[in-house]
Structure 1
């Protein structure tokens, strides 16, 4: 099995073999897309947080994409669509920004934030000056809007319903099954403007695992508001207002 380094400063590697998912030629073409996501995360979460993952292994899978926090390991199931590659890698890398697993009733919010990270990375690509883009990325930039629009079709129209009321209506489902993608996408869509206007809000996400296990969702968000860094407080207030009403 061969490996390709995504960057020169860290041991972030794509491991490939001669299979339809990560063949050697495809792995070489994947590097610019994955390196771009790393740059987006460095601006969002901070270089220190991202670079604390000195080792990261990315491997192919025919199953669903997934990540393993304790092993700095990500499995991706796509390579030929570079937009989907950015989407999947952003989602799984966001999981690794959280040092430990959040409590069960908060896991759906982790999945929602990871969905948000995928959308954010894609739209960051659209806004990047073409002169700063690798040719592979420049080639896919015109397709970003259509891809994001298609991705958000799984989100549920709220038709004037407050996000906090949507969460209250579905909280039991969310806590029992954090992977309901339609629900995660719905909340991620509504969170996006906050993270756009408060970029420091990304630094809130690693604190999810610090919420005590016996806290309800509402109690957890209030607790999160007390432990985030001062630079994140404006964004945290907006998030709490959206989620709790």
Structure 2
């Protein structure tokens, strides 16, 4: 297999279930476009995207390979477009949030929640612009399928705090569970949905703050309040980070 060149954004390998590579790459290009719009930047290195249909979960690997990030997906096939978008957007968010700079700290649940939120945001953007993408010629009515997929996500149909007060009550009751397991999808989904609807869908420049995560030794933060202050400092006390933190 030919490794991706430095000038490319990604290459694909693995089992894509008979889907035409050209179409799969067109879809992936759209995901990259949307994620780059959200974060306002491109990744520093290309991404080697490998699909393992029988794998339990997708993952952004900590180790790089020949100058490339490694992302492993677990889409059932290359024809499962929504699933590919959902998984890839999540993993690209990890790459954009400096996931490997500070590993294993107890506040990783926030990164996981924000990556779930990234999947939501990318799918919503895709549903709105489908008719103007290169994929439109392959299925002109697929935007409706994207909308149905979004509505079926656990994070979109689970508990949704009505306001900040309700969120804080929920958070106080669940912070222990969040810190003990960063990838509790039920809890991450609550955080993702709440922050998307109350902050990020209204203030899209807040994504700049996500790109500042993990740039310090998060293990030094003794509690979540301390962690938030470190994040605020990394963002130079910007309006965006204060908008996010004021909601939390």
Normalising by structure 1, we get a TM-score of 0.84
Look up the match of 2:246.
241
Cα distance in 2, alignment partners of residues 239 and 69 from structure 1: 27
Contact 2:109 2:188 in 1 (8 A): yes
Separation in structure 2 between the aligned mates of residue 111 and residue 195 of structure 1, nearest angstrom: 15
Equivalent residue for 1:146, pick from 132, 145, 148: 148
RMSD of aligned C-alpha atoms? 2.5
Q: Deviations over 1:110-159 (max 9, x none)?
A: 10000000000000012226234432474421112211111035522446
State whether structure 2 residue 171 is matched by structure 1 residue 172. no
Pairs aligned (count)? 232
Q: Distance in 1 between matches of 2:48 and 2:25?
A: 13
- Tell which deviates more after alignment, 150-159 or 75-84: 150-159
- Find the aligned partners of 1:81 and 1:67 in 2 and give their Cα distance: 19
More helix as a share of residues: 1
| Equivalences for residues 21-60 of structure 1 within 5 A | 21-23=15-17, 25-47=19-41, 50-53=42-45, 55-60=46-51
Match of 1:197 among 202, 212, 219: 202
Deviations 1:173-207 (A, max 9, x none): 11110111011011110111311222221121132
* Structure 2 counterpart SS, 1:25: coil
* Cα deviation digits, residues 92-121 of structure 1 (max 9, x gap): 111111222355221000100000000000
What secondary structure sits across from 1:104 in the alignment? coil
Check conservation: 1:67, 1:92, Cα contact below 8 A: yes
Say whether 1:84 aligns with 2:83: yes
2:213 to 190, 208, 212: 208
> For structure 1, which runs of at least 5 residues remain unmatched after alignment?
none
> Which residue of the partner structure matches residue 156 of structure 1?
159
